[in-house]
């Protein structure tokens, strides 16, 4: 079972409120995330990102790409194909071992992971009780179920044309290790990073976008000289934790989880998860894994492809197969962590109605500014519209002239817009506008031409 033997729901204890149900509803209502194929009743654990969700996830991926690729000279980017040669997955060990134990109930036909803590007794024995229908003795013995999706390449659907949808992006990096190293003339230690879709036929998907069957990973494989991997492993653990903190994730909600021997994947000699407290019964769960993969993957690809995957260290005139330190983070799972972390309901001083606010880091917020004329007359809509059009050349802006100004503020709070700009009577006299800060609710008067630089400065952090 190797890497799959610890169900995520067993990690950590909950100590934060459960906001998931409220978030699912907000995400649909405001256009962040919709259930896939909803008009047909939905597809199991697959989700579509709406206009605001796509911006939020893109901002998150951009931050990762910037930190891992653009801001460094020792990591190169890659975008490898999803469909790969089937032998890749034999070499990687996924065909043989990427499995979960599956248990069926003969009575209600429901399926469970064999290690589901809700199962009482040992599956396959008369005393085992189905957690869904409550019948005893109806659960099958666990059988191993491979999580890779299979499809066929070309028009003939036979065993010779089977290909898999990749269950991790990492293998596209390993098979391109020499292509990238030689074309860029990088020297070990160096890394290759990529963002892309991965697919797993999970037995128990759920908790919104936490565990889905189609998801995006942001992975980086760092190739090092054997003997230096422990020091690089420590380095990358610290770097990756800092990155999650830089998103504004509450430090109290972030924790390390070290894999025990039983939990380690077949390729890993050491692994630490960065876990986030999602609140409620979900509690602390993995959002990123940092793995010491040794030379497992490159050696296996050498063996299965018959091609050498060695690095030539010219100054020391020696050849070696590098060791790999991997950082692997889910884009969707981290998007969920960011949303959970940001969600709050709070009272507003001097107002009867409270507000729901997404206190998103300004760089992640899908809309950076709302622009409103105070009233729909005296040239205010024209002024506000011109300002919104100008600002839109630099970042996403929402123009709104409908309803009471308080309600317009609330609508932007709920989607995490960090700044609201109001054009009022004074604007028409002196060319200044108010900028309201989403978090402090403070309003500042700023010259209209200063609004762009003011906001750009704050979203760049």
Q: By the criterion CB under 6 A, which residues form the site for ligand GAP?
A: 168, 170, 200, 202, 211-212, 215, 217, 219, 286-289, 326, 328-330, 332-333
Residues 6+ apart with CB under 8 A from 21: none
What's the min distance (Å) between Cβ of 376 and ligand GAP? 45
Q: Choose between 189 and 289: whose C-beta lies nearer to ligand GAP.
A: 289
List beta partners, residue 437. 419
Distances (CA, A) of 410 to 127, 267, 281: 55, 49, 29
Of 240 and 436, which CB lies nearer to ligand GAP in the complex structure? 240
* Residue with the CB atom nearest ligand GAP in the bound state: 330
Q: Provide φ and ψ at 22, rounded to 5°.
A: -65, -35
Is the Cβ–Cβ distance between 56 and 396 less than 8 Å? no
Minimum gap (Å) between residue 420 Cβ and ligand GAP: 33
**Is the Cβ–Cβ distance between 199 and 165 less than 8 Å?**
yes
Distance CA 105, CA 124 (A): 10
Nearer to ligand GAP, 140 or 255 (CB): 255
Alpha-carbon gap, residue 197 to 214, rounded angstroms: 7
For the bound state, the minimum distance from the C-beta of residue 382 to ligand GAP, rounded and expressed in Å, comes to 47
| Residue 210 token pair | 């936490």
As measured in angstroms, the least distance from the Cβ of 166 to ligand GAP is 10
| H-state helical runs in 343-404 | 380-392
Task: Tell the smallest beta-carbon distance from residue 167 to ligand GAP (Å).
Answer: 7
Q: Which is nearer to ligand GAP, 218 or 423 (CB)?
A: 218
Nearer to ligand GAP, 265 or 360 (CB): 265
Which residue from 240, 241, 268, 269 is spatially nearest to 255, judged by alpha carbons? 241
Nearer to ligand GAP, 288 or 424 (CB): 288
Q: How far is the CB of 82 from ligand GAP (least distance, A)?
A: 14
CA pair distance 245, 204, nearest whole angstrom = 29
């Amino acid at each position: 079972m190797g890497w799959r033997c610890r169900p995520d729901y067993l990690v950590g204890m909950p100590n934060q409120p459960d906001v998931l149900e409220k978030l699912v509803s907000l995400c649909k209502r405001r256009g962040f995330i919709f259930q896939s194929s909803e008009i047909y009743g939905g597809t199991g654990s697959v989700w579509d990102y709406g206009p605001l969700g796509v911006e939020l996830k893109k901002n998150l991926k951009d931050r990762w790409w910037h930190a891992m690729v653009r801001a460094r000279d020792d990591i190169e980017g890659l975008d490898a194909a999803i469909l790969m040669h089937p032998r890749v997955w034999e070499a990687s060990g996924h065909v043989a071992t990427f499995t979960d134990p599956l248990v069926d109930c003969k009575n209600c036909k429901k399926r469970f992971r064999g290690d589901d803590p809700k199962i009482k007794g040992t599956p396959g024995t008369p005393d085992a009780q189905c957690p869904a229908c409550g019948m005893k003795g109806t659960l099958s013995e666990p059988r191993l179920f491979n999580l890779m999706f299979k499809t066929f390449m070309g028009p003939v659907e036979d065993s010779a044309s089977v290909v898999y949808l990749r269950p991790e992006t990492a293998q596209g990096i390993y098979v391109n290790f020499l292509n990238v190293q030689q074309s860029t003339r990088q020297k070990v230690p160096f890394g290759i990073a990529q963002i892309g879709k991965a697919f797993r036929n999970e037995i128990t998907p759920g908790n919104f976008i936490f565990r889905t069957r189609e998801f995006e990973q942001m992975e980086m494989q760092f190739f090092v000289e054997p003997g230096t991997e422990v020091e690089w492993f420590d380095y990358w653990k610290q770097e990756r934790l800092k990155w999650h903190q830089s998103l504004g994730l509450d430090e109290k909600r972030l924790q390390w989880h070290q894999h025990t021997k039983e939990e380690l994947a077949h390729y890993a000699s050491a692994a630490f998860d960065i876990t986030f407290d999602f609140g409620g019964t979900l509690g602390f769960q993995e959002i990123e894994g940092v793995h010491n993969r040794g030379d497992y993957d490159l050696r296996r690809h050498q063996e299965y492809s018959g091609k050498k995957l060695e690095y030539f260290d010219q100054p020391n005139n020696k050849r070696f197969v590098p060791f790999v330190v991997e950082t692997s983070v889910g884009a969707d799972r981290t998007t969920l962590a960011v949303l959970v972390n940001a969600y709050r309901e709070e009272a507003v001083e001097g107002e009867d109605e409270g507000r729901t606010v997404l206190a998103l880091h300004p760089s992640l917020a899908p809309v950076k500014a709302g622009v409103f004329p105070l009233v729909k007359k005296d040239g205010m809509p024209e002024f506000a519209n011109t300002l919104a059009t100008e600002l839109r050349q630099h970042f996403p802006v929402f123009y709104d002239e409908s309803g009471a100004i308080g309600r317009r503020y609330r609508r932007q709070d709920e989607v995490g817009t960090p700044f609201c700009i109001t054009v009022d009577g004074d604007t028409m006299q002196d060319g200044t506008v108010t900028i309201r800060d989403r978090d402090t609710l403070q309003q500042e008067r700023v010259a209209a031409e200063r609004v762009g630089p003011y906001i750009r400065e704050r979203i760049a952090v």
